[in-house]
Structure 1
Amino acid sequence: MAVSDSVVLGAGVRVLKPDLVNLYGCTIGDETRIGPFVEIQAGATVGARCKIQSHCFICEGVRIGDEVFVGHGVMFTNDLWPRATDDEGHLLGADDWSLKATVIGNKASIGSGAVLLPVRIGEGALVAAGAVVTRDVADFAIVAGNPARIIGDVRKRRPNSTGRS
């Protein structure tokens, strides 16, 4: 695994274990941090000042905004009809499927172990750990479960950012 020469890295990007990642053909914004055992595929973009925790898979077609947190083991998908073969049993190739995009709004947070189908996650939204997101998530919504459902609004539940009461 490695950081390919085809990766566009912004200023101050930190790849914590460059020998333990697989980054190729993607764009990473300024001051973003990427943990070990992360794969980011060609055509994916990660904004500025993001934190991508270990063991994440960010596939082609994913666009992550600025200041986004992606927890450990988050999996993105880009195909709504995944198949290995066609009706006659022939292996499918690169031209035999339709790429579906996933867009993550600025300041969103994706909890550890979440799985995201091709969806839009709104600005400031919070996806709970382990959620399976099958539908778009509104700005500032909190979603949890399988399938993920709205359980709140971050503007009403956010703890004091200083940690003091």
Structure 2
Amino acid sequence: MKTKNHPPSTINHQPSLPSTIHHPPSTASHHPPFFIHESSYVDDNVEIGEGTKIWHFSHILSGAKIGKNCIIGQNVCVERDVTIGNRCKIQNNVSVYKGVTLEDEVFCGPSCVFTNVYNPRAFIERKHEFRPTLVKRGATIGANATIVCGITIGRYALIAAGAVVKKDVPDYAIVAGIPAKQVGWTCKCGTTLPFGRKESGVKGKGSKATCKYCGNEYVLEDGNLIVIKKK
């Protein structure tokens, strides 16, 4: 009987895989110490502090400086050379134009408006006429308020929703209306202080008030609110 010679097998046997697979070293970089949503644009030469979060559809332009632990909401524009301090909160639909400075812990409500030219015309270039606006530490700007350029908003001041602010606002003052007028005084915590009606303006003198919420005590002296006791 003849033996039939089978052709060599064309099946290549695969060698057994090793029990341990060695992955190549990761090329992924460490995550930055802040968060930027993928829909937002951040230009070159921008400083962003640790813990800050920038949410949907926002644009941070070159030269802007944003401090630590800030929250930048949806559809916010921070223009060139703007400085924003630490722990600020800027709600949706706010544009912070060149010439505006926000100190630490400033709150900007939804759709509040900053300006930087007092008398703009589309057909006249007035970039050399920008008027600086300073919002001091802890101040609150309510929703839809308008801040006319060239003024200073004092520490812990409170701008009511929809107000149009055209002049400087003292520390701890509450202003409301169009144009905005002072209607009272606020504690650092944001609670209205219980001064009498005659003392709510800037001319009160020697009157004292205690915050019902946190217990801080204040006195009015020559139109200035002074903290005399902190809890």
TM-score normalized with structure 2 length? 0.63
1:144 pairs, out of 176, 180, 186, with: 176
Alignment of 1:149-164 (within 5 A): 149-155=181-187, 156=193, 160=213
2:159 aligns to what?
127
Alignment counterpart, residue 22 of structure 1, candidates 45, 59, 75? 59
The 2-side partners of 1:71 and 1:84 are apart by 28
Q: How many residues align?
A: 152
CA distance in 1, matches of 2:130, 2:71: 27
Is contact 2:120–2:126 with CA below 8 Å preserved after alignment?
A: no
Larger relative contact order, structure 1 or 2 (CA cutoff 8 Å, min sep 6): 1
- 1:94 CA drift (Å): 5.8
Whole-angstrom CA distance in 1 between matches of 2:212 and 2:93:
28
**Structure 1 runs of 4+ off > 6 angstroms?**
none
The residue that corresponds to 2:48 in the other structure is: 9
Encode CA deviations 1:62-111: one digit per residue, 9 max, x unaligned: 000101111000110011121122xxxxxx3365x401000000000000
Alpha-carbon distance in 2 for matches of 1:113, 1:3: 25
Q: Report what 1:84 is aligned to.
A: 122
Structure 1 match to 2:112: 74
Q: What letter is aligned with 2:60?
A: L
Cα gap change, 1:31/1:153 in structure 2, threshold over 3 Å: closer, same or farther? same
Gaps of 5+ in 1: 86-91
Q: Distance in 1 between matches of 2:213 and 2:70?
A: 24
Give secondary structure in 2 for the equivalent of 1:150. strand
Give the equivalent residue in structure 2 for 1:88. none
Q: Give the CA RMSD over aligned residues.
A: 1.5
User: With structure 1 as the length reference, what TM-score do the two structures score?
Assistant: 0.87
The code of the aligned residue for 1:127 comes to: I
In terms of Rg, which structure is larger?
A: 2
- Kindly provide the amino acid, as one letter, of the partner of residue 45 in structure 2: S
